[in-house]
Chain A
Amino acid sequence: MTSLRNVAAIVEKEWRHYFGSPIAYVSLTVWALLFGIFFYFAFSFFLRESMMAAQQMEFGGGPKMSLNELLIRPVMHNMAVVALFLAPMLTMRLFAEEKRQGTIELLATAPLTDLQIVLGKFLAAAGLYGLMILAGLVDLALIWHYASTPPEWKPVLTGALALLLFGSCFLALGVFVSTLTRNQIVAGILSFCLFLGVWTLGWADDPGAGPVMKAIAYLGVTTHMEDMVKGVVDLKDVVFYLSFIAFGLFLAHQSVQSQRWRA
């Protein structure tokens, strides 16, 4: 009970900071804006394609057009790239700033465990990120309003879940990187490089790849998104993401503790 309350106190404090400064508004706006732009482009593309398909109808019918496949999925993929850029901004100051201000000592001398502090900070960032995803989904609601045959909603939901899990991996790693320095810019840049590295692991995924490359590709965070964005929630992907997050938080926790021993 107390531990839950402690975590909640940290989350609340971080949210006060996010919303008491431009951070939350800027990231929400940027996310919603980019979501809108990508949605617009994907939508125009879809419109062109469906027009062409309609013309082909006269010659005996074109391919079947799916809103999920041609509109929603590309947008989700693009937003994953945006998450790559925005995640460092959400996590870089979490520990670095506490260290620079000396307030880490306040937290460290309060009856809180290091794990509660790490969890609180991660959940605060993940919460804001979740809110960003929701803000993006508002755009998709338009389709339901206007489309004659509405798309399936389940893949949209699993796609959002994929985005959340995928981004949370970055956030967990970002929390860890933030514990390493007292300079938030350094934390931001390092996080971004690390995220990019983890991202590119997925590029090793090639049909002709050998077992080693396959294993590397498996560690890439993007590879596990594919099925989920299509609407298939495979337990192994969820477990992968959750263990990735747990690993990031474990590193952060170890880092905070070891600094106490050395500090």
Chain B
Amino acid sequence: MIEVENLTKRYGRTTAVDGISFRVRKGEILGFLGPNGAGKTTTMRILTGYLPPTEGTARVAGYDVFEAPIEVKKRVGYIPETPPLYPDMEVDEFLDFCAKIKGIPGPSRKGKIDEAVDKTRVGDVRGRLIGRLSKGYRQRVGLAQAILNNPDVLILDEPTAGLDPKQIIETRELIKGLGGDHTIVLSTHILPEVSMTCGRVVIINKGKVVAEDTPENLTRRLRGAGALRVDVRGEATAAAEAVRSVPGVVSARPRPESAGVTTLEVEAEPGRDVRPDIARAVVSRGLDLLALHQVGMSLEEIFLHLTTTDAARAEAPPAAPRSEEVTA
């Protein structure tokens, strides 16, 4: 349904999106993950036909976003991070305007609006001014607008940003319910959201795809990268030094010691079991080894691992990508 090939977007000298490629199958919910300024919003804007790409192609529902933006726009429902709403319009009035500019013909307009209102459960605020609605309702009115013409593809930029926990759960349920009929791309930096709603995840950082898989596979694959927790009785620097001396250990970060016990968070090279060596190293330095756990990486850790360690390892990048807040 969506094919993105080597997509690049530059703003002057800054590169917001740097040669990313991915595909989304029909009916799939794809999570688009990345820190702020990673290029999520830019990519999504390109997919909606709003921004032209600098290089590469993106095809949505078979139409090239650059060559046939109008055809793409007819098939895509989009909500930016802050839903674009007119505060001085009533909900019904707003949806009617949206239906008109989306080219829904007069006779079926009423029905489509009712349908979208039902799906997003905004029925009880239909006559209210949008400016007076709570954030949760605004988000839903934005969603109602996006699904009005029953688009093949829905693109949601941080649909749960700024909502309270109850609204977040409701919105997630809503999105899950829309999957299947619609192909959905949603961006977020809330990680549980991804494991709960998305079938597949694309993680991008500094404009590049750093990982692409199902949430389960990502977790499984990175578990091998072996995060360890080591409890040592003794002084923190000595303990950290001991662990770091073991070949295969990438990093060892001591947590603040309490009651003479230091807990080290150790990261080892993937596929290498360093536990016996760590045990020996600690003991041989006269420190007491109290515990040694293998810790599975949560999605949060994977995310941080992928988006921060890569950046730290790379030579200092010439310029940080412009954050989305600036361009929004």
Binding site for B on A (CB under 8 A): 2, 5-6, 9-10, 12-13, 16-17, 20-21, 101-113, 260-263
A260 touches B52 (CB 8 A): yes
Give the docked Cα–Cα distance between A102 and B102 (Å).
18
Give the docked Cα–Cα distance between A6 and B70 (Å).
13
Residue of A nearest to B101 (CB): A110
Q: Name the B residues within 8 Å of A113 (CB-CB).
A: 70
**16 CB-based A-B contacts, threshold 8 Å:** A5-B103, A9-B101, A20-B89, A21-B88, A102-B328, A103-B85, A103-B86, A105-B50, A105-B84, A106-B84, A109-B49, A110-B98, A111-B70, A112-B101, A261-B51, A261-B52
Residue of A nearest to B99 (CB): A9
B48 touches A106 (CB 8 A): no
Contacts A2-B103, A9-B101, A103-B84 known; A111 to B73 CB distance under 8 Å? yes
Contacts A105-B80, A109-B76, A262-B11 known; A6 to B103 CB distance under 8 Å? yes
Choose from B82, B93, B101, B145 the contact partner of A102 (Cβ within 8 Å).
B82
Binding site for A on B (CB under 8 A): 11, 48-52, 70-71, 73-74, 76, 78, 80, 82, 84-89, 93, 97-98, 100-103, 145, 327-328
Give the docked Cα–Cα distance between A110 and B146 (Å).
10
Q: Name the A residues within 8 Å of B97 (CB-CB).
A: 9, 12-13
Extra inter-chain contacts (13) besides given A5-B103, A103-B86, CB under 8 Å: A6-B101, A9-B97, A10-B101, A20-B88, A20-B89, A104-B84, A105-B50, A105-B80, A109-B48, A109-B49, A109-B50, A111-B74, A260-B51
Give the docked Cα–Cα distance between A263 and B71 (Å).
21
Give the docked Cα–Cα distance between A105 and B84 (Å).
7
CB distance from B95 to the nearest CB of A (A): 12
B48 touches A111 (CB 8 A): no
Contacts A102-B82, A102-B328 known; A108 to B93 CB distance under 8 Å? no
Contacts A109-B50, A110-B73, A261-B52 known; A17 to B88 CB distance under 8 Å? yes
